[in-house]
Structure formats: C-alpha cells, structure tokens
Chain A
Amino acid sequence: MRKLQSVAAFFKKPGFILILILLAFFLKGVFTAAIFPIFTGQDESRHYNSIQYLTEPKEKNWEMTARAHIADKETFRDYNFSQEILEAGMAMDIDRVRHEGFNTADFAAGYDGQNETLINSRPWQPYNYLDPPDTAGHSLYHTLGSKIEKTFAGGGIFVRFFLIRVFGVFLATLAVLFTYFITKNSGFREKESLIIAAIVSMQPKFSMYSTNINYDALLIPAFFLFTLGAVLALRNGLAWKNTAAMLIAIATGLLTKGTALVMLAIFILLIGYLFHQKIKDRKNVWLYYSSAFLGLLAILFLVSRFTSYNLARIILPEDGISQTFSSIRNYLNESLTMGRFALSSRTYWGALTWGNGWVAENFTNVIKFIETFSSAGLVLFFVSKKPDWLPEKKYIAFFVLMIAALQLGIRFFDWKVFINTGALDLGTPGRYFLPNLASHIILVFVGIGAFFRREKYFQHTLILGLLLMFAFSMYTIFNIVIPRTYL
C-alpha cells in the first residue's frame, strides 16, 4: 500500500509531469512532421532549397542555366530549386498533393511509395542548376539546417529533410519548456504553470508550424527565451543570467528574421525602465540619462553597422510626410477589415478549413468569445486589486507590451511592403504572431481569472482551457489532416 502511495506521489511530482508534457509534445511534433508530406509546409520547399544551396560547394563547377523566376507558377517544376528537390517532387507527384485539395498521393500497397526506391537511389544532385536559385535568404536557421544536411549527406532526401523537421520540433519543445519557466517566474503557482505550458504545447498551429522547415522554427523559441529573460529581469533586476538570455535571444532572432527587431525595441524599453527604477532617487539624474541615451545610440549604431538591418532606412519614411500619411491611411483601409482579422485568427489557431467540419469552421468563434471576455477581465485586472494567486501587474503589463509591439512590428513591415507594391503582399497570417503564444495564453487566462475571487475557480478554468485545446489539437490531427492527406 505504501509502495502504491509512493508511486502515486512520484506521478504527481511537477518535474515528472513537466517531462511528460515535453515528451508528449515532442512525439506529437514528430508524428505531425510525418503526416504532412514532404514540401507541403508553408514555404517549406523554398527554405529547404536555401539549406541545400548553403550546403552545395561554393565553387560551382557545374553548368548553370539562367532562368528568371516565374511569377505565376503552375507546377512545382516552375521553381528554381535544386535538381534533387525538383525531380524528387515530380517523382512523387507533388503537384497533385499540393495543389488539388480534393486529391491525395497515388498510394502503393506497401510501406514504400510508388517511386520511393528511385528517389532513395539518389540519381539527382542536391545542387542548384537554375540561376538565380529560389531561396529564402541566408539565416542562422538555414546555417543550422545546412549542418544537418551536411552531416547526413550520405542519406536520402527523406532522411535529411525529415531530420531538419524533427530539429524544428526539438526547438519548439524548448519553447514549451521556456513557457513553464515564464509562467512560474512571473508568479503563477506550480500547478498553474504546468497547465499553461501544457495548453501552449497543445495549440494546434504551434504544433503544426514547428514541424515546417522554416526560419520561424528558430525565431519562435528565441522570442520565448527573450520573454523568459525579461520576466526574470523584472523579478530579480538585471543580472548576468537574464541579460545573457535576452541578448542570446535577440542575437539569435536578428540572425534569423527581421521580426526580431521587436525584441530589440522591447529590450531597450525594458533596460530603460529598470535603469530608471534604479537611479530615480539619485543625485545628478540627468547625467545618468545622458549616458543611457548615448548607450542607446551606440547599440543602434552597432546593430546597423554589424548586421544586415539598416535601422535608419527601416524606420524613417522614404517619402514625404503627406505621402507617408496617405499611404498609412490607404494601408489601414485595406488591411483593417473583419475578413482579414478572421483569417489571421483562423490561421493563428490552426483552424484548417479542409473539408466541411463544423468544429474547424466555428472553433475560432468560440475562442473569440473567450478572448473578448478575457479582454474585459484584463481591464478589471489593471483597475482593481489583484488576487494573490495572479502575477503582479508589471508582468502582465510586460506581456501586453510584447503583444502590442509584435502586432505593430508586423503591421509596420506589412505597410512597408504595401508602399512598394501597392498590395498586401506580405499580409498578416496568424503564424506571424506565434512568437508571442506564451504571453498571449497567459494574458487570456489572467483576464478570465480576474473575474474570480477564488483560486479554485481559476484552476478549473485552466483545466477547461486545457481540455478545449487538447480536444481541438487531437481533432485537427485525426479528423482533418489525416483524412485530407491519406483518406
């Protein structure tokens, strides 16, 4: 009997449950990586081609064929990808899988596809013969992917491609781990921190997107790490550990994707806030502020000088003031529509509308209702005395700042593209907002929790949220993705 009790106690240990959540998430990610056929992720073939392009010999001792990028691509072959990607894709009839929503691959009877033996015999080179190659640039993510590609160069394309997908799942698992520490360090109790980490791990889009070969796979955990560093800084003041976490996150982010500039901006604000808290009561305050201002200019100069981000060019308007205002007005008219908000929301939560499922079509409406309720709760949270079991207001204000900054940053870049093309070519798909998933989920539940006066009810709400996310996550995998792709 005592033995049984000790086993039960072990199962309830937070460390055990955390490992369970991480392991479940990792296996789910690997399974999700398996159910999406090769090259069917968002921009995946282009990102994989970027990795192959980095991996191929620098000295091109093969004949290149000049072919301008085709604007309206009708088939996979229209992309300037490596010979291996193009031929393997065509051999497995990728057009049928990618472009015909009603169609699936032509399945063989066994465990190997019709042309799998041919593809695995590696008759094609992983080199780009078409110039200029179709790539998504050169980022830290592509460099890391290239290391995997090079290490497993002896394996077939499926081994290399899916190992890079699994690498993305590993990075996302780190993000779930960071979520746990973010919640715990911002003042939630152990149980609540575990539940919130589990909710994040079951968000369908996060699970699906982290399996894609795409630089966001590195950007998202970088944002989570930054959030953790900032929460620790708000809690303990600036220390080498939390500053290092934030700087590593910013550096990783900047070497990956421009979205990371949002982290840099918040970092500067945060440092300013903590600095102000420290020196506000001292003499000669202006001296400290002047030094801080010079320090800020130095940081901006260093970023502009030693990275590919020309901050002055990014921030300052290219046209006159009146033209800038006019383009902002046009942009807002085009972009701030109910249809675009709904699309962002659907693609953020992973509500795939393949087929005619009621759940997929209405899930985001349920979420919208919860979020509206929660927004009112957040207002209540800030204007009233907070319950003991919710985090301090400074953490919640920081999460709101993170959400607002990323929203502004993405819409700013969307507007920049709009100025040049006159169209919403970049757009605001929901996946762009996933870097703030942990902050977002925390805010939603704090907003709901603000209405309760007893912690027990708050915990019940968290469990309900967990069940809802678990249901939708399972439903998406088994009732939408698998039937669409294999049945």
Chain B
Amino acid sequence: MIRVNSKKIFLSTLIIIIAAVFWPLWRVWYFPDTTWPLEKGEKTKIDSEVIQKFSADRDGLSKIAVLFGDSDVSPGGTFNFELLDENCRETIRSANLEIKKLDSDNTTDFVFSRIDKSKGKTYCVRISYAQKKGGKKARIFVIENPKPENSYFSINGEEMAGQSISMRPAYKNASIFEDIGELNRRISQYKPWFLKHYFLYFIAFGFIILSVLAVSLLIHL
C-alpha cells in the first residue's frame, strides 16, 4: 500500500505557490517610461490601421502599452501589432493579441521579446484591428503629441500632425537583479528614509522569508 506523506505534499504545494506567484513577475516586470503621458483624448475608430513613430529613450524596449477607448467590442477581435524600423518597412517584432473587451481604465499591452540596443533609435508602431463577425471597431485615444521626437502619426491612412496615440513604451533591464533595483528605486520615491533603498530591501525580503518559514514550520509541526 502506498502511504502518502501529507507534509511533503503540502511543502510541494508551498513551493508551487511560490513559483506561481514569483515566476510570472520575471516575465511581466516591464518598466514603462512614465514621462509619456497616458491621457484620454479624442476617441477615433480604427478603420484600417494606426501608425506611430517614436524614439526609444533606453535599451531593453519590450512592450508598448496603449490606452484604447472603452467601446463595446463584443464578441471581440484581434489586434495585429507590428514594431518596424524607422521607415516602417522591416518588421522587428510582431504580436497578435486576441481580445474580448476593451477597458479604458487599463492599458492594452503589446509585449515582445526584449530589444537589447534600442536607446536613441526610432521605431514605427503599426496597429490594426480585425473584429469578429457582429463586433464593433476598436477606438483609440488621440492626444496632443507629448514628445517632439515622435515624428509621425497617422490613423486610417491620414497623417495627423502634432498628434499622437495615448501610449507608453516599456523596458526590461538586462537582468532580474537590475529589475529588482529599479523597482526598489520606484517604490522608494516619496517615502521616508526608513522605507527607502536598503531598508526597503530588508523589509521586503524579511517578510517574504519569514512568511515562507512560518508556513513551512506550521506544515511541519
């Protein structure tokens, strides 16, 4: 007869939980360039495609977050996203994103593998949307161009000088340690000295380690 060791099962579950909580973080920790304003401007339907040229401020470009209007797009559709070179000719990264709803209180994120040397380069973003049968067209917010280096914006083939889509490029660092460092810097801002930098590391890792230890000991008791 096989005897099941319940403590081992619970400890394995704990390890799976820790992996399930922390593993996705390495994949979803993107640091948006917050100098790009995300605003709700004028809503415009995407009939064919949106093209936006922009300049990356740092290395590690990995995501473009776009704010769409909250139109009822049920039953949904698919965004086709392409990141192209400066001349909008050569595709560097692409992604298809299937959606069922659009929410103007959250950005829609186009994620792609990290571009190591992106700093100072101009990229062209091309987004089109194919709605499912019976669905509506997606709408995008058009705002005043916040960055002079964003040289071109067009929607449905029409150039819109001095305007831009409401979007924000996001970056990943070269290593997870740099990501943790950058997150620490962000959390430290507008905090007192005892919640900054090393103190924050101590508190964060202290609580994680002690919590895991407490749960492990309770399983073992």
Contact = CB atoms under 8 A, between A and B. Distances in A.
A289 interface: no
A482 B183 contact: yes
A269 interface: no
A377 B218 CA distance: 25
B185 A111 contact: yes
Interface in B38-94: 38, 67
A38 B29 contact: no
Contact of B218 (A195, A460, A474): A195
Contacts of B189: 105, 107-108, 111-113, 116
A467 B35 contact: no
B20 interface: yes
Contacts of B200: 31, 34
A486 B213 CA distance: 28
A486 B30 CA distance: 10
A352 to B, nearest CB: 12
B214 A24 contact: yes
A382 interface: no
B21 A478 contact: yes
A47 to B, nearest CB: 18
Given A102-B67, A103-B38, A467-B13, A356 B187 contact: no
Interface stretch (B102-110, B127-135, B153-161): B102-110
Given A111-B197, A356-B103, A479-B21, A158 B190 contact: yes
Nearest to A110: B185
Q: Is the interface of A mostly helix, strand, loop or mixed?
A: helix
Given A467-B10, A486-B183, A38 B218 contact: no
Interface in A187-202: 191, 194-195, 198, 202
Contacts of B10: 460, 463-464, 467
A110 B211 CA distance: 29
Interface in B184-218: 184-197, 200, 203-204, 206-208, 210-211, 213-215, 217-218
Contacts, number: 154
B30 A356 contact: no
Interface string B162-194: 000000001000000000000111111111111
A23 B186 contact: no
A467 B14 contact: yes
Interface in A103-159: 103-113, 116, 119, 155-156, 158-159
A104 B107 contact: no
B202 to A, nearest CB: 9
Contacts of B148: none
B8 interface: no
Interface residues of A, number: 63
Contacts of B34: 104-107
A298 B116 CA distance: 77
Contact of A24 (B29, B35, B211, B221): B211
Interface string A1-31: 0000000000110000100110110011011
Given A24-B207, A31-B204, A463-B10, A17 B106 contact: no
Given A24-B207, A107-B34, A487-B32, A463 B219 contact: yes
Closest 8 CB pairs of A and B: A27-B207, A24-B210, A113-B189, A101-B105, A28-B207, A159-B192, A158-B192, A111-B188
Given A111-B196, A198-B218, 7 more contacts: A24-B211, A34-B187, A102-B107, A162-B194, A466-B215, A479-B25, A483-B28
Interface of B: 6, 10, 13-14, 17-18, 20-22, 24-25, 28-32, 34-35, 38, 67, 103-107, 170, 183-197, 200, 203-204, 206-208, 210-211, 213-215, 217-221
7 contacts: A31-B203, A37-B190, A105-B189, A106-B35, A156-B192, A486-B186, A487-B29
